[in-house]
Amino acid sequence: MLERLHIKNAALIASCEMEFSRGLHILTGETGAGKSMLIDSLNFVLGGRTGKEFIRRGEKMVSVEAVFSYKSAALSSLLAEDGIEEEEDGTLLLSRTLNDAGKSVSRVNGSVVTISMLREIGSFLVDIHGQHEHQSLLHPAKHIQLLDRFCGEALENTLVQYQENFRQFRRCEKELSELLAHADSAEQRLDYLRFQEKEIAEADLKNGEEEELLAKKKILANAERLIRLSEKATAVLYDGVQEVPSAYDQLGAGMNVLEEIAQIDETAASFAQKAGEAYELLDDCIRAFRHYADNLEADEEGLEMVEERLQLIYRLKKKYGGSVENVLSHLQEVQDEIAHLSDSTSYAAKLEKEKAAYFKQIEAYGNQLTKIRQEKARWIEGEIEKHLRDMEMKNARFAVSILSDQPWTSSGRDKVEFLISANAGEDLKPLAKIASGGEMSRVMLALKTVLSDADEIDTFIFDEIDTGVSGKTARKVAEKMALISQKKQILCITHLPQIAAMADHPFFIEKETEDGKTTTHVTALSKDAAIGEVARLMGGSQVTELTMAAAAELVDSSEKFKETLE
């Protein structure tokens, strides 16, 4: 429900703050006073298209804010998907600005959103109908959507199952089509993939192999130097150099001296022990090193083999992914695709089988959709005709045509169209054949009255949809709006006193010109002022005691009618 609307610098509106509640809000005023600008402003903050001409002359920016309360689980889910935090009090703040450079910024609860996101969120909050919006009723493509909203949860659950099977059916169709379309190129692709598989598989790459080869290459490339260094190390550690005792001999001699000291001074025993351990450790080291040195030899052939192996790895890395891991991963992808293409015949047969199974489910769920729609359509026809009779279309007949022989789509195979006969003796015809705007308005209002229980949207806006009705019919239209307003919040722009008299919350819109600038003002009317406005609508510029009395009587009778609805 719309709680508050704030407008700044929108065309004729310099600044406007309006508060709303439940019930029927009626907006009246002279033609051109800017009544529709309020609806345009609300449409703007809900993501509607507009241009820089929407900005008040002489200003740099227009801004509109709207506060809504809501209880829709579907809307909460959408907000979560869009990353918008919900307020604890269950309100939603929508704001949008447009500057003179044409840049628009939209926010929901302070989070910046795209226009499409704003528009989608707005679709859960407000349903706007104007002199032209109800022309959507003339398009049969819209009728199945309206019927499905009437059908409610029973159809929704079946539709979810149907659409999942329909989606899978389409997937099978698409894959089969692609298989057939690429049958000729598949063999060429297989040849190419098999070449890649052979090239990589024969290389027999292993993770970590490159590092091992690089280490081996370093040793083989430095083999002669390692041999010389090994000989020198052996001499220094064990053999001795130019009459200089080796480290092994000197450590042994030092250990003997420490043992003699320990025999005299027991506190030096630990030194002798540690020297002994060092002597044994050096002995082990020399033995291991001799084994290492014995295995050293220059191997030109081995070095060449390592170089060739590394070059193979480098070439495959450059060709297939930059690392051995990526090359091996590419091999797996190639093998998977080969398996898929090689098995295309059996895969096609599998797809055909799946497709047939999904189509069987489509038919079953599709028949259920048709049955639910047909049953609900009969009820809708009776309800619409009842409400049309209430609005002085006594002989009107309304029918929902459902043809179930259409191509399968995401909503089934039903073609739905609303038909009407406005007068006795006339055949049922599509709504587009209705010549009278007043009749169209009443048909739409009847649909809204019936739909009010099934519709989650809390706010309906009617922008002069009373065009073409007057007198007794206008009173019936007003009563129908009052009936809807028991369950929904309604904002209605009207020129008819019968509708204005039914207001729970009357507003008067007027404009004034000062210093060459025209400004629209909105005033919430007291009961007496509201009666005066009804009198103005009844008598034009000449408001007399008689028109005031008639207006008071009309307002009084409207209040009594609303009491019967409570």
Structure tokens at 177: 């089509």
pLDDT band at 134 (very low <50, low <70, confident <90, very high): very low
The residue type found at 278 is A
Q: How far apart are CA 85 and CA 64, in angstroms?
A: 21
Comparing 128-142, 183-197, 264-278, 413-427, the range with the smallest average pLDDT is 128-142
| Nearest alpha carbon to residue 381 among 401, 398, 402, 403 | 398
Q: How far apart are CA 93 and CA 390, in angstroms?
A: 39
DSSP string, 193-228: HHHHHHHHHHHT--TTHHHHHHHHHHHHHTHHHHHH
Pure H helices in 391-468: 437-451
Contact 279, 268 (CB under 8 A): no
Comparing 100-109, 228-237, 361-370, 472-481, the range with the smallest average pLDDT is 228-237
Give the pLDDT mean for 148-157.
86
Contact 418, 113 (CB under 8 A): no
pLDDT band at 347 (very low <50, low <70, confident <90, very high): confident
Is the confidence at residue 132, as pLDDT, over 60?
A: no
pLDDT of residue 454: 67
**Beta-sheet strands, E only, within 381-423:** 397-403, 415-421
pLDDT band at 490 (very low <50, low <70, confident <90, very high): very high
Please indicate whether residue 439 or residue 477 has the higher confidence score (pLDDT).
477
Q: State the chain's mean pLDDT as an integer.
A: 85
Give the pLDDT mean for 28-57.
87
SS3 27: strand
What percent of the chain has a predicted confidence (pLDDT) above 70? 94
Q: Please give the model's pTM, rounded to 2 decimal places.
A: 0.62
Contact 503, 17 (CB under 8 A): no
pLDDT of residue 436: 63
Q: Mind listing the pLDDT tens digit for each residue in 304-322? A: 887 888 888 888 888 888 8
Give the pLDDT mean for 358-379.
95
Contact 551, 501 (CB under 8 A): yes
> At a CB cut-off of 8 Å and minimum separation 6, what does 461 contact?
39, 42, 126, 127, 128, 129, 130, 490, 491, 492
Q: Mind listing the pLDDT tens digit for each residue in 243-273? A: 777 777 777 778 888 888 888 888 878 888 8
pLDDT of residue 531: 94
Comparing 75-89, 144-158, 206-220, 350-364, the range with the smallest average pLDDT is 206-220
pLDDT of residue 20: 94
Comparing 115-124, 175-184, 354-363, the range with the smallest average pLDDT is 175-184
Contact 106, 98 (CB under 8 A): no
**Count of C-beta atoms within a 10 Å radius of residue 554:** 22
Give the pLDDT mean for 466-483.
84
What percent of the chain has a predicted confidence (pLDDT) above 90? 34
- Going from the C-alpha of 536 to that of each of 24, 47, 60, 478, 494, the distances in angstroms are 20, 35, 37, 18, 13
Comparing 190-194, 238-242, 254-258, the range with the smallest average pLDDT is 238-242
For 178, half-sphere exposure in the C-beta direction (CA atoms, 13 angstrom radius) is 10
pLDDT of residue 299: 67
Structure tokens at 270: 């630990």
Indicate the angle between helix axes 300-320 and 209-221, nearest 10 degrees: 150
Q: How far apart are CA 401 and CA 451, in angstroms?
A: 18
Give the pLDDT mean for 177-200.
81
When mean pLDDT is compared over 203-212, 274-283, 420-429, 544-553, the highest value belongs to 544-553
Give the pLDDT mean for 48-67.
91
Give the pLDDT mean for 280-303.
75
Give the pLDDT mean for 395-424.
91
Quick one: CA dihedral 51, 55, 59, 61, positive or negative? negative
pLDDT of residue 435: 52
pLDDT of residue 5: 95
When mean pLDDT is compared over 126-130, 201-205, 450-454, the highest value belongs to 201-205
When mean pLDDT is compared over 140-144, 149-153, 393-397, the highest value belongs to 393-397
pLDDT of residue 487: 87
Q: What are phi and psi of 83, to 5 degrees?
A: 75, 30
pLDDT of residue 185: 75
Give the pLDDT mean for 411-424.
90
When mean pLDDT is compared over 148-162, 438-452, 511-525, the highest value belongs to 148-162
**DSSP conformational letter for 102:** S
Comparing 173-177, 239-243, 458-462, the range with the smallest average pLDDT is 239-243
**Count of C-beta atoms within a 10 Å radius of residue 276:** 15
